[in-house]
Structure 1
Amino acid sequence: MAQKGFLLIADITGYTVFLTSSELEHAQGVLDALFKSIFAEIRAPITLSNLQGDAALAHLPDLSVPQRQFPLDAIERIYCSFANTLAAMRLNTTCTCNACRNMGSLDLKFFLHHGEYATQTLAGRSELQGPEVIRLHRLMKNSVTKATGIRAYALVTESAADAIGLPDFFTNAVAHVEHSDDFGDTVCRIYDLAPVFAKWRASRRVFVERDEPLAFESMEVDLPVPPAIAWAYLTDVDKKIRWQQGLDGMTMTGLAGGRVVAGAVQHCAHGKDSTVHEIVDWRPFDYVTWHIGTPMGTVARQTAEFTPLAGGGTHLSLRSAKVESANAFAQALVRAMMPLVAAKKLAATQRASKAALEKLVAEDGAAAGKQTAA
């Protein structure tokens, strides 16, 4: 059946040279670990089609895209998983064989396209077909590294960039054109993934642990959608305002090229008042932590954690720690006031929000099912 959506290839750089210049048994062990790190992150709503030697082909129908920046977040998550696995193997090995010495020549690159394609089941596997699938494969033989010097990159075609709809982000990416006899010129944008991994490694963990004292009861809810879909309900203001109770409006500032990242701020309006939720730790699609402004310059840490469930669902845990401040007097005073002034109201709002979120996810799922059937 033909459909429109994103086509994605994750391709290991240096694969052939690594195999031909290394001991086969050790090389296979290294590559097996790296492929596992890739496959572990190709999750719903992305569907893995097949493995083609050194590359994995996957697709994402338009109807399954949870938020605009999702394809970029997914690519970065896959790359960080791969790069972290490779770095750990290089650090921990004491072996002097060629395979272990040559690991540093490996890297990962991505090719993202958008267009029409068809799926066909062959020998129990879902195969992708169509001219746009062929175009994507043609792009794997390219001049990107020669022209830019970038080895770990995401090549995003113009049609994919337009479908994502974040022009400010792609303005800062490297413009590139690839030519083929079959398709002529394909306009692309290239962005370097090495700085993404460096930032990921350097970022500090800010988290509300399950066993630490909370300001009020946590929200614990099982949602019948995968983590990447549940993630959007908490991080996309247009979705969050539909279920978060006690709010009159919600806006966001501090975006990076239109993308939500650490440092972005959710502004939540409550009548004449407002609260500020600054994202201080951003790990799609595992957890996100905000610092919420509270009285006297104190802040409250709040973490939304997403745990995959058997069967494809997600357990969401939304936890708010007691307020904190470098000013011990302000911290003690606000902590003493919270149970008297706001804790019961916040707990009630959280329970109402949980019910609204469950209802919204169910309604959206039913609507998506009808749209797919149509």
Structure 2
Amino acid sequence: MAQKGFLLIADITGYTMFLTSSELEHAQGVLDGLFKSIFAEIRAPIVLSNLQGDAVLAYLPDTDLPQRQFPLDAIERVYCSFANTLAAMRLNTTCTCNACRNMGQLDLKFFLHHGTYAMQTLAGRTELQGAEVIRLHRLMKNSVTKATGIKAYALVTEQAADAIGLPEFFADTVRHVEPSSEFGDTVCFVYDLAPVFAAWRGARRIAVRHDEPLAFEIMECELPVPPAVAWSYVTDVARKVRWQQGIDGMTMTGLARGRVGLGATQHCAHGKETTVHDVVDWRPFDYVTYHIHTPLGTVVRETAEFTPLDNGGTRLVLRCARPQSDNQVAQTVVRMMMPMIRGKLVRDRRASKVALMELVADDLKAAASAQQSA
């Protein structure tokens, strides 16, 4: 049966030259490590289809898309895993063989398309079929690097960009057209992944540690969805407002070209007042840390941590540190005020946990019902 969704290829740049100009034993070891770094991040709701020599093919049905920017977040996560693994290999090796000298020539590029595809089982293996799958493979032979000079990139077709729906983001990328005798011109958008890795590597880590004093009890629950989906219930205000108790509404500002990320701010309305939550650390789909603005210029660090479970679900843990400030007087005063509101905060948090678990269960039932009706 035909489905609609995203089609993704991750392709190692320089693969053939690396193999042909390097000692096979060492070259295989390097490539095994790099492919493992890719496979480790091809996680639900993305589905791995197969390995095609130097490339990995995966897909994501529209029905499983957790939030609009997810395909971009997922691509960047895979790239950072690959680039970090390669950098560690280069740093830690003292070998002078051709394979170890040449691995710096390797890199990773992505091709993202959106369209109709079908699943076909041949010789016990399930393969993606359809014209759009062929179109995606044709895009791998392109003039992107020659035209732009970018080596590590994500090439997103116009169809995929429209399906994601973030025009501000794609307006800031490089527009590129790939001609084809079979499909005509395919309009694409190209963005450089090297700066993404540099920012990821250089960003300061901010989190509430497991062993530090907390403002009040943690919220911990197990959700029957993968981390990337659980992540969307916390970081997407349209979903969060449906389970977060003690608020009347929620909005988001400070988006980076339409995307939620580091520097964005959640505004939680409570009657006539608003609580501001600044995103100060953003690690999809591992954890996110907010600075919650509290009285007298103090802030409370809150970390939402997502741990994958063996059953495919996620353990979500929210921890809030005690109020902090460079002004010791303000910090002391606000910490003394905390017991007066702790009871309400704990009640709201416990009610939020129940509401979140019920919301996820209801959403899963609705999705299953819709799938049966299709």
Cα distance in 2, alignment partners of residues 222 and 122 from structure 1: 37
Name 1:357's counterpart in structure 2.
Answer: 356
Match of 2:346 in 1: 347
CA contact (8 A) 1:49 1:125 kept: no
Aligned to 1:70: 70
1:308-331 deviation per Cα after TM superposition (whole angstroms, max 9, x unaligned):
001100000001000100001111
CA contact (8 A) 1:112 1:160 kept: yes
Shift in Å at residue 124 of structure 1?
3.5
Query: What residue number does 1:36 align with?
Result: 36
Name 1:328's counterpart in structure 2.
328
- Residue matched to 1:368: 367
Residue in 2 that maps onto 1:217 = 217
Per-residue deviation, 1:351: 0.1
Equivalent position amino acid for 1:363 in 2? D
Q: In structure 2, what is the Cα distance between the partners aligned to 1:117 and 1:174?
A: 27
Alignment partner of 1:266 is 2:266: yes
- Aligned pairs for 1:202-281 (under 5 A) are 202-281=202-281
How far apart are 1:337 and its partner, in Å?
Answer: 1.1
> What number of residue pairs does the alignment pair up?
373
State the identity %. 76
Amino acid in structure 1 at the alignment position of 2:80: C
Q: Distance in 2 between matches of 1:336 and 1:31?
A: 56
User: What is the distance in 1 between the residues matched to 2:334 and 2:355?
Assistant: 29
Q: Distance in 1 between matches of 2:7 and 2:209?
A: 37
The aligned residue for residue 112 of structure 1 is: 112
Displacement of 1:120 after TM fit?
A: 1.7
Could you say what secondary structure the match of 1:342 adopts?
helix
Structure-2 residue corresponding to 1:89? 89
> Deviation per CA, 1:117-150, whole angstroms, max 9, x where unpaired?
0012233332100000000000000000000000
Question: In structure 2, what is the equivalent of residue 282 of structure 1?
Answer: 282
Alpha-carbon separation, structure 2, partners of 1:346 and 1:237: 20
Letter in 2 for 1:327: N
2: distance between equivalents of 1:369 and 1:126? Answer: 22
Moved >2 Å (runs of 4+): 121-126
Number of the residue aligned with 1:293: 293
Q: Could you tell me how far apart the structure 1 residues matched to 2:299 and 2:93 are?
A: 43
Question: What is residue 137 of structure 1 aligned with on the other side?
Answer: 137
- AA matched with 1:186: T
TM-score, structure 2 normalization? 0.99
Structure 1 residues without counterparts, runs of 5 or longer:
none
Aligned pairs for 1:144-155 (under 5 A) are 144-155=144-155
Quote the offset at 1:27 in angstroms: 0.2
Aligned-pair CA distance for 1:209: 1.1
Aligned AA (2:91): L
- TM-score, normalised to structure 1, is 0.99
1:51, distance to aligned residue in structure 2 (A) = 0.2
1:48-104 deviation per Cα after TM superposition (whole angstroms, max 9, x unaligned): 000000000000000000000000000000000000000000000000000000010
Contact 1:10–1:109 (CA<8 Å) still a contact in 2?
Answer: yes
1:226 to partner: Cα distance: 0.1
Per-residue deviation at 1:180?
1.0
Q: Given that residues 50 and 125 in structure 1 are in contact (C-alpha distance below 8 angstroms), is that contact kept between their aligned partners in structure 2? A: no
Point out where structure 2 has 5 or more consecutive residues left out of the alignment: none
Report Cα offsets for 1:215-241 as digits up to 9, x if no partner: 000000000000000000000000000
Residue type of the partner of 2:353? K
Give 3-state SS (helix, strand or coil) of 1:17's partner. helix
Pairwise CA RMSD: 0.6
* Cα distance in 1 for residues equivalent to 2:206 and 2:315: 20
Q: Does 1:20 align with 2:20?
A: yes
Post-superposition CA distance 1:165-208 (Å, at most 9, x none): 00000000000000111101000000000000000000010001
Aligned to 2:200: 200
CA drift of 1:342 comes to: 1.1
Find the residue that maps to 1:159 and give its secondary structure.
helix
